[in-house]
Amino acid sequence: MPKVRNEQESYSREMGLDQKIEWDASNNAIYVGRAFPGALVSDAAWQIYKMEWDVSNNMTSLRWADKTDAFIKAWGSRNTYSYGDI
């Protein structure tokens, strides 16, 4: 179907994405990565964020790899990025 004037393609951040999660010893999610199906962990095709937790297992912050939510990071390199607010 052709696009109508001013129409843009969009996507749902949750719908149809593969997801990977790394957990800590307290069973808290530390890193969460999302990519479109078929992306390899080495592909620069992932959106990655990091969650930080306090000693009571309450999440205290959610920070994005290199301060972006773009799908341009590699899941296999998640612990090499700097994390910050966007």
Tens of pLDDT, residues 62-84: 999 999 999 999 999 999 999 99
DSSP 49: E
Q: How many CB atoms lie within 10 A of CB 12?
A: 7
> Residue 24 and residue 30: Cα distance in Å, rounded?
6
**What's the burial of 66, exposed, middle or buried (CB within 10 Å: 0-12/13-18/19+)?**
middle
Q: Using the predicted structure, report yes or no on whether residue 7 has a pLDDT greater than 70.
A: no
Q: Which residue has the tokens 């959610």?
A: 62
Tens of pLDDT, residues 19-61: 999 999 989 999 999 999 999 999 999 999 999 999 999 999 9
pTM (predicted TM-score): 0.80
User: Domain locations in the chain?
Assistant: 18-77
Confidence band (pLDDT; 50, 70, 90) for 15? low
